[in-house]
Amino acid sequence: MNCPRCNGFLETHIINGVAMEECVNCRGIWFSKDELRKAKDQADPDLAWIDFDLWKDPEKLSAKSGLSPCPVCQKPMAQIEYDETDVTVDVCPGGDGTWLDNEEFEQIIAVLEKELESKTSSDYIRTTLQEAGELVRGHEKFASEWKDFTTVFRLMEYRILIEHPRLAASLDAIRRGIPFQ
């Protein structure tokens, strides 16, 4: 396959079990179908429960027809600005995959990590309840849903302790065997 940006050769790399094709010239990356999600999950396991969904907020979506051809089917890819960032993701109209220019993957990971840090304890409580519901009716395997639930629950605990330092100090004192300070 050739790069949709500079027509350079796309070289296959397997990183943490995820296959991707990287341009030897411009360092852009082609992710086949579900490989972008897998790469995101490997980059930061705390992000695995966040679905990388370019279409999740239609009011924030900015899409236009692109000129770059899909490396697989050669049809022009759609350009989608990802969630109020400077990252423009190129998507194959036939669903063959996603193209990211050099360093855009890292920018997306940074945006998702910022999303984790900006959530309040109330946000995490709501999300924990949603993840608990997905344990029962989720579309993924139970083990995957359980992992997502436990990750969100752990992040909720951290956020509550950050927002309530006196509670954190009291729990620490109990843990150390000192009932009151």
For residue range 81-138, what is the model confidence (pLDDT) as tens digits?
766 667 788 988 888 999 999 998 898 888 888 888 889 999 999 999 998 998 888 7
Cβ distance 98 to 91 under 8 Å? yes
Position 59 pLDDT exceeds 70:
no
Cβ distance 149 to 135 under 8 Å? yes
pLDDT (mean) for 31-44: 88
Rounded to whole angstroms, the Cα distance separating 45 from 32 reads 20
Element containing residue 109 per DSSP (H, E): helix 104-118
The pTM of the whole model exceeds 0.85: no
pLDDT at residue 10, rounded to an integer = 95
pLDDT at residue 29, rounded to an integer = 94
Contacts of 156 (CB under 8 A, 6+ apart): 121, 124, 125, 127, 128
Terminal CA-CA length for the chain = 66
Q: Collapsing DSSP states into helix, strand and coil, what is residue 9?
A: strand
pLDDT at residue 2, rounded to an integer = 92
